[in-house]
């Protein structure tokens, strides 16, 4: 009876709202688990399923975290996991395959034939129910967050094969899964979708496309307070009585009152957020304001399922249950007074349920002085659930070697980590040192420059449970030998209020690591914001950059780019006067030339701008006419042209160059942009008029996702600043694998045809 009671509690936690609405009376189904991809409160319960992981980590302790399989399978196949049911897989991730034609097999409940036998492309967005963004290829990794329940057993096999560049077989993988109590009734995943399930899947997909952040449920009560924090002051909001759940916390600083850009971004680390539960002697949350909400170092506008920034309002929607009281307070450790408008939404509970857990969050930092030691994400005692983190990494060695460290989790006194990853970016759903920034409900890369990254991962269907203790660290590269900074925020729940781990130190101790390459990477920084559509953030960063780099020779071009950001946000009519004032007062020749091009673009609907960016000798053509060429990767070539209605063809031609290599093109018209991407076709040494619009390229294959890059790449980190917003950031760099070239005297052509409406 006790076992059945536990299973009943577990199923209650799994079903949306714990009410069983829409659940299958025959047992836990795929539909139930699918619904929980938009049910943000399951992570706050101690009776929710807990996760484990199987990975290809190097058991010798080295860095060869690939090709370590459970066992050999049939000829040409290897077994990654053999899971005993009941349970479900919450995440499958792999990289290292040559292309998306690599196959994966899933055998359910002792079947001799695989129920699913799919290519990686089919599994990650090419076939229902595996739809993006729940299943995709992003940042060089194939993954699915589509849950796969199994009643008795699940065996996962991967086809053997080779990675690109002729480097031999290097298959990396991670399988996250949750065991359910014996006796739990489960309907195994079939891969077939009923009409009702298709409707639910469509709803989840749309929710995830919008960031996945749920609004507070009906019946919540909101309270707002505005506080002014003098330097050195602390102030608490009015206590909130329980039992209740805090559903939403928003904080809007009055940035306009802060005198400088340094001050405006500085409050993200200077102001400390604390939350104390049930009158405890120590806060369970003690984190710098910006870091807690996902804006490390400076404001970045994006949304995850639980935190983000909209306009200038920080939003947190982690569910925070408490029995007696909640106290939220702020401390200003900076030099300027700060005004904060704070709103709290709470949902009353009829009674306290001991399976609710208390939300905790703590901040941690390690520096170059910590060589020889891992970076600590969280070390705590008690019973709880680790549910995710944000991590920033800065390499002072001017390499990405620091990312070769694994995440290690020790639960309940383990001396060998029960959770052992395969590399830092793998844990955050990326691979091969990432490509470009991205924000999804449960993972994201919010910054990538040289050699600095910020990333997050959240465990919705697969929190990591512990009963007595938990310790999570990231290796500091192989042998903990890399010099650099690591900073993190851990999110976790415990059965009782406890003190947030680690000390925050002074405001000076938390200053973001200085970036000695900032002048070289300014365009990459701006591209990060543009890929999120965060034009205000890009504009703000130029203010910060010019305030701290007063002698930067391209300052006039950056000021012009700020006007171009205003145009993106407010339209050309609202910014025409600003362009005209700039042209009347500016003396910098490069800035004036670019301003004239931006104004010329708006003189006629047929006027267009084209850019070419490459780190090798390349040429660009439109409808058979050569537009421009580049010789070096330090400047993006931009030309003005006219594009009338009808069919057109763009062709980019380049010679051989070993990795890293790329060619990138972008056309801006009044009807939209045409940017190089994986759908562009390519051919080596094509014959005939391949640059014309009517050329038959039907036999040419598409470039494919593995043939796109996010330039610039080291050692080509410098791009001369320009004022042409989105033309660099929205285009992908194209390149084939080195071994695909016929010879080094060959050339490659990339093509794209498009239509312009009358």
Instruction: From 661, 687, 665, select the one nearest 676 (Cα to Cα).
Output: 665
- Would you give the end-to-end CA distance of the chain in angstroms? 73
Q: pLDDT at position 3, please? A: 35
Q: Which residue has the higher pLDDT, 79 or 25?
A: 79
d(CA 329, CA 319): 18
Instruction: Compute the average pLDDT of residues 659-681.
Output: 95
Q: Tell me the pLDDT of the chain averaged across its residues.
A: 93
16 — pLDDT class (breaks 50, 70, 90) = very low
Q: pLDDT at position 89, please? A: 97
> Which residues are within 8 A (CB) of 76 and not within 5 positions of it... i.e. 6 or more apart?
159, 160
Which residues lie across from 666 on neighbouring strands?
611, 675
pLDDT by residue (tens digit) across 179-198? 999 999 999 999 999 999 99
Instruction: Compute the average pLDDT of residues 649-668.
Output: 95
- Topology at the third CATH level for domain 357-502: Jelly Rolls (2.60.120)
* Residue 600 CB neighbour total at 10 angstroms: 12
Which whole-number Å values give the CA distances from 714 to 437, 451, 476, in the listed order?
17, 9, 21
- Name the 3-class secondary structure at 310: strand
Handedness of CA 283, 506, 378, 359 (dihedral sign): positive
Least confident interval from 18-27, 84-93, 270-279, 587-596: 18-27
Q: pLDDT at position 738, please? A: 86
Structural Rg of the chain based on CA atoms: 27
d(CA 721, CA 600): 20
The yes-or-no verdict on residue 629 having pLDDT over 90 is yes
d(CA 200, CA 142): 23
Q: Could you tell me the maximum CA-CA distance found in the chain, to the nearest angstrom? A: 84
Q: Which residue has the higher pLDDT, 14 or 225?
A: 225
Q: Which two tokens stand for residue 243?
A: 């039992």
Distance of CA 203 to the CA centre of its chain: 21
pLDDT by residue (tens digit) across 200-234? 999 999 999 999 988 899 999 999 999 999 999 99
The backbone region for 392, taken as left when phi is positive above 0, alpha when psi lies in -120 to 50, beta otherwise, is: beta
pLDDT by residue (tens digit) across 488-500? 999 999 999 999 9
pLDDT by residue (tens digit) across 334-358? 999 999 999 999 999 999 999 999 9
pLDDT over 90, % of the chain: 90
Q: pLDDT at position 11, please? A: 44
Long-range contacts of the stretch 692-698 (C-beta < 8 A, 24+): 692/623, 692/624, 692/649, 693/623, 693/624, 693/647, 693/648, 693/649, 693/753, 694/647, 694/649, 695/649, 695/751, 697/751, 697/753
d(CA 347, CA 594): 54
CA angle at residue 348 from 344 to 353, to 5 degrees?
120
Distance of CA 262 to the CA centre of its chain: 26
| CATH of the domain spanning 2-209 | 2.60.120.1390
pLDDT by residue (tens digit) across 513-537? 999 999 999 999 999 999 999 999 9
Q: pLDDT at position 54, please? A: 98
- 604-758 is classed in which CATH architecture? Sandwich (2.60)
- 219-355 is classed in which CATH architecture? Sandwich (2.60)
pLDDT by residue (tens digit) across 89-127? 999 999 999 889 999 999 999 999 999 999 999 999 999
Q: pLDDT at position 336, please? A: 96
> Which residues are within 8 A (CB) of 295 and not within 5 positions of it... i.e. 6 or more apart?
268, 309, 314
Q: pLDDT at position 7, please? A: 38
> Which residues are within 8 A (CB) of 569 and not within 5 positions of it... i.e. 6 or more apart?
535, 536
pLDDT by residue (tens digit) across 451-510? 999 999 999 999 999 999 999 999 999 999 999 999 999 999 999 999 998 889 999 999
Q: Length of the chain in residues, anyone?
A: 758
The backbone region for 139, taken as left when phi is positive above 0, alpha when psi lies in -120 to 50, beta otherwise, is: left
């Amino acid at each position: 009876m006790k076992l059945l009671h536990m299973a009943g509690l577990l199923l209650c936690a799994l079903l949306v709202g714990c009410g069983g609405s829409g659940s299958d009376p025959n047992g836990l189904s795929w539909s139930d688990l699918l619904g929980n991809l938009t049910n943000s409160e399951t992570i706050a319960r101690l009776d929710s399923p807990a996760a484990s992981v199987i990975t290809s980590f190097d058991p010798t302790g080295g860095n060869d975290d690939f090709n370590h399989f459970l066992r050999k399978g049939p000829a040409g196949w290897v077994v990654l996991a053999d899971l005993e049911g009941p349970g479900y897989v919450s995440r499958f991730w792999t990289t290292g395959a040559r292309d998306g034609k690599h196959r994966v097999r899933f055998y359910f409940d002792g079947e001799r034939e695989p129920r699913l036998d799919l290519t990686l492309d089919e599994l990650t967005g090419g076939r229902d129910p595996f739809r993006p963004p729940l299943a995709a290829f992003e940042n060089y990794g194939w993954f699915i967050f589509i849950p796969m329940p199994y009643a008795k057993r699940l065996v996962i096999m991967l086809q053997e094969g080779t990675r690109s560049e002729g480097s031999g077989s290097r298959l990396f993988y991670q399988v996250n899964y949750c065991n359910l109590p014996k006796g739990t009734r489960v309907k195994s995943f079939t891969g077939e979708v009923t009409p009702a399930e298709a409707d639910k899947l469509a709803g989840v997909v749309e929710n995830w496309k919008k960031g996945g952040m749920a609004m507070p449920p009906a019946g919540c009560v909101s309270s707002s307070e505005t506080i002014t924090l003098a330097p050195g002051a602390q102030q608490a909001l009015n206590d909130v009585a329980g039992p209740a759940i805090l559903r939403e916390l928003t904080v809007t600083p009055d940035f306009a009152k802060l005198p400088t850009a340094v001050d405006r971004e500085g409050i993200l680390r200077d102001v400390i957020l604390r939350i104390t539960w049930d009158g405890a002697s120590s806060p369970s949350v003690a984190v710098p304001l910006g870091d807690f909400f996902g804006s490390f170092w400076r404001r970045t506008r994006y949304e995850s399922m639980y935190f983000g920034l909209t306009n200038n309002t920080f939003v947190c929607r982690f569910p925070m249950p408490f029995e007696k009281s909640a106290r939220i307070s702020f401390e200003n450790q900076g030099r300027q007074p700060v005004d904060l408008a704070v709103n709290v939404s709470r949902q009353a509970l009829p009674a306290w349920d001991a399976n609710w857990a208390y939300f905790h969050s703590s901040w941690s930092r390690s520096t170059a002085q910590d060589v020889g030691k891992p970076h600590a994400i969280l070390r705590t005692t008690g019973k709880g659930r680790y549910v995710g983190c944000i991590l920033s990494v800065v390499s002072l060695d001017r390499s990405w070697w620091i990312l070769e460290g694994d995440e290690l989790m020790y639960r309940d006194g383990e001396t060998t980590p029960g959770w052992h990853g395969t590399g830092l970016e793998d844990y955050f759903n990326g691979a091969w040192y990432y490509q470009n920034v991205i924000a999804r409900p449960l993972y994201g890369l919010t910054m990538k420059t040289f050699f600095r990254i910020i990333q997050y991962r959240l465990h919705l269907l697969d929190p990591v449970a512990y009963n007595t203790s938990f310790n999570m660290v990231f290796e500091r590269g192989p042998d903990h030998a890399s010099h650099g900074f690591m900073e993190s925020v851990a999110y976790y729940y415990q059965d009782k209020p406890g003190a947030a781990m680690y000390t925050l130190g002074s405001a000076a101790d938390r200053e973001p690591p200085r970036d000695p390459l900032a002048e070289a990477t300014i365009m990459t920084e701006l591209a990060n914001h543009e890929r999120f559509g965060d034009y205000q953030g890009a504009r703000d960063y130029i203010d910060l950059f010019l305030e701290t780099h007063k002698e930067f020779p391209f300052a006039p071009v950056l000021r012009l780019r700020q006007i171009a950001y205003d145009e993106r946000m407010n339209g050309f009519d609202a910014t025409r006067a600003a362009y005209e004032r700039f042209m009347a007062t500016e003396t910098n020749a490069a800035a004036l030339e670019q301003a004239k091009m931006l104004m010329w673009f708006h003189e006629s609907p047929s006027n267009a701008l084209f850019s070419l960016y490459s780190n090798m000798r390349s040429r660009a053509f439109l409808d058979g006419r050569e537009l421009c060429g580049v010789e070096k990767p330090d400047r993006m070539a931009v030309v003005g042209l006219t594009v009338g209605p009808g069919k057109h063809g763009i062709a980019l031609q380049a010679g051989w160059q070993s990795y890293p290599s790329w060619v990138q093109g972008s056309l801006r018209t009044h009807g939209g942009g045409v940017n190089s991407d994986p759908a562009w076709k390519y051919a080596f040494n094509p014959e005939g008029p391949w640059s014309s619009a009517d050329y038959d390229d039907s036999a040419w294959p598409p470039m494919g996702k593995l043939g796109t890059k996010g330039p610039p790449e080291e050692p080509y980190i410098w791009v001369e600043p320009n004022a042409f917003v989105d033309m660099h950031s929205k285009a992908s760099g194209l390149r084939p694998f080195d071994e695909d070239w016929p010879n080094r005297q060959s050339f490659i052509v990339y093509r794209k045809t498009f239509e312009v409406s009358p």
